[in-house]
Amino acid sequence: MKSDRWTRRAMLMLVALTAVLSGCTTYVTTQVTAFSDWSGNDASRTYAFTRSAAQQNSLEQATYELLVANELATHAFRQVDAQQAHYLVGLSYGTKSETVSVSQPVFYSSPWPGPYWGRPLDPWAPFGPFPPAYVNQVYPVFTHSLGIRITERASGKEVYNVMARNAGDEQSLVRAMPYLARSALADFPLGNGAVRTVKLPEDKNGGVSNEVAGSPAPAPALPASAPTAVQ
């Protein structure tokens, strides 16, 4: 009976530990660089998207425009017909892939026969630890980027240009784009030459979470749904 109680307690502790680990939040970190000559006001924040020749009739382009439009709306921008728009908004985006090589230690036990024979990952042998050997592991890294360029329609003057980049093992640009769009327009408008690192909680359903990421340093107050921007 005593053994059964200990077994039950151990199972409860395992379940609790699993629940705690499953609740851990992971973050998508994006670097944002902005160049700005912004002097607009809320009354003039009407815009239309402009497309390059390669972006015409593109479903991918339309998908990304919708994500950016949702973020612009949080800053009082209104999408209108191109002939009525005060601003034109152009998008650029892409993914670059590369590989990184990481040297990792591999431990081996004593080469002498004994109770530790046949345990290559055991760093402790009968005569003490043996120095590890190192092997190179190659991993793919994908860098995703989104550029947003805002110009005055009448004059063609560029008033805001922001680039957001993040990198990791996620290959799909589609999955990365919600984080790029929100990070690029976080705390709009940024000052000229501003560089920010934005952390967004990763949504387990594949989208971007509305949860606010914690910041180790004081930052300006942001809307409840905005990410944390760390200077």
Does pTM surpass 0.85?
A: no
pLDDT tens digits for range 26-57? 899 999 999 999 987 778 899 999 999 999 99
- Which tens digits make up the pLDDT trace of 72-116? 999 999 999 999 999 999 999 999 988 766 777 776 555 555 554
Closest CA to 231 of 205, 203, 193: 193
In a domain, 78, yes or no: yes
Helix then strand then coil, % of the chain, to nearest 5:
25, 35, 40
Domain of 188?
25-99+142-230
Give the separation between CA 48 and CA 30, rounded to whole angstroms: 26
Give tens-digit pLDDT for 146-194.
999 999 999 999 999 999 999 998 899 999 999 999 999 999 999 999 9
Residue 178 lies in a domain: yes
Which are the contacts of 188, defined by CB distance < 8 A and separation ≥ 6?
75, 160
**Continuous segment of H or E residues that includes residue 173:** helix 173-184
pLDDT-derived band at 221 (thresholds 50, 70, 90) equals: very low
Q: Quick one: CA dihedral 58, 59, 64, 65, positive or negative?
A: positive
User: Does residue 52 form part of some domain?
Assistant: yes
Cβ-based neighbours of 35, under 8 Å, separated by 6 or more: 160, 161, 162, 192, 193
Q: Is residue 90 part of a domain?
A: yes
105 domain residue, yes or no: no
Q: Decide if 107 is inside a domain.
A: no
Report how far residue 148's alpha carbon sits from residue 184's, in angstroms, rounded to the nearest whole number: 8
CATH number at residue 156: 3.30.160
Count CB-CB contacts under 10 A for residue 176: 26
Structure tokens belonging to residue 46: 């009407």
Whether 14 is covered by a domain: the verdict is: no
Q: Is 3 part of a structural domain of the chain?
A: no
CB 137 within 8 A of CB 102: yes
Domains contained in the chain, number: 1
